[in-house]
């Protein structure tokens, strides 16, 4: 029982915590062999249910891909590609909606689309139970956005 609780705690613990996607040291991640960044949508790339992406966020994504990273979006939202945010993201990057995080399926789907292994990937998201736990159980490096 005790060791099970310890395992659960480990599963919910991110490898890194950061106040925003702008505070992440992407070049260090690249130096450590990471080649893909998977982003959650709500409260990560935007606020709660963003209607459109902030131009600063679009610029950051462009910079990250310019560094040599592949970018993927992984969201549990059930909305389709007609949603303006999803539509604009999906024109440039693979997007998996209804990802069912923390289940493995959505993570595997986006890794497949990007052609990278779990050890080459980084998951960035705000929720321990979905983003962090899902990434950790597959061995994907996890970064949690925790606004203070
Ligand atoms: Mg979120």
pLDDT digits (tens, 9 = 90+) for 29-77: 999 999 999 999 999 998 887 788 999 999 999 999 999 999 999 999 8
CATH of domain 2-145: 3.40.50.1000
pLDDT at 1 over 70: no
* Helical residues (DSSP H) of 97-139, grouped into ranges: 104-114, 133-138
Whether 15 shows a pLDDT value over 90: the answer reads yes
For residue range 73-116, what is the model confidence (pLDDT) as tens digits? 999 988 776 788 888 899 999 999 999 999 999 999 999 999 99
For ligand 1, the distance from its centroid to the CA atom of residue 42, given in whole angstroms, is 4
Three-class secondary structure of residue 94 per DSSP = coil
CA distance 98 to 34: 25
Q: Is residue 102 reached through a cis peptide bond, with omega within 30 degrees of 0 on the bond before it?
A: yes
Band (pLDDT 50/70/90 cuts) for residue 7 is confident
- CA 93–ligand 1 middle distance (angstroms): 18
Q: How far, in Å, is the centroid of ligand 1 from the Cα of 140?
A: 17
CA distance 46 to 44: 5
Could you tell me the CA-to-CA distances from 98 to 122, 132, 133 in Å, in that order?
A: 19, 17, 17
pLDDT of amino acid 52 = 85
Strands 95-96 and 36-39: unpaired
Q: Report the separation in Å between the CA atom of 53 and the middle of ligand 1, taken as the mean of its atom positions.
A: 14
């Amino acid at each position: 029982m005790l060791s099970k609780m310890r395992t659960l705690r480990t599963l919910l613990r991110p490898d890194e915590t950061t106040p925003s996607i702008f505070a992440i040291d992407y070049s260090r991640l690249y130096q450590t062999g990471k080649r893909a960044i998977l982003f959650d949508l709500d409260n990560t790339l935007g606020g709660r249910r963003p209607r459109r992406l902030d131009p600063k966020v679009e610029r950051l994504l462009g910079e990250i891909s310019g560094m040599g990273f592949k970018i993927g979006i992984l969201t549990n939202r059930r909305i389709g590609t007609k949603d303006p945010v999803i539509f604009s993201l999906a024109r440039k990057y693979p997007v998996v909606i209804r990802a069912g995080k923390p289940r493995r399926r959505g993570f595997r789907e986006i890794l497949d689309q990007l052609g990278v292994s779990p050890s080459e990937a980084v998951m960035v998201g705000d929720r321990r139970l979905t983003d962090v736990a899902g990434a950790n159980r597959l061995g994907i490096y996890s970064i949690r956005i925790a606004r203070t």
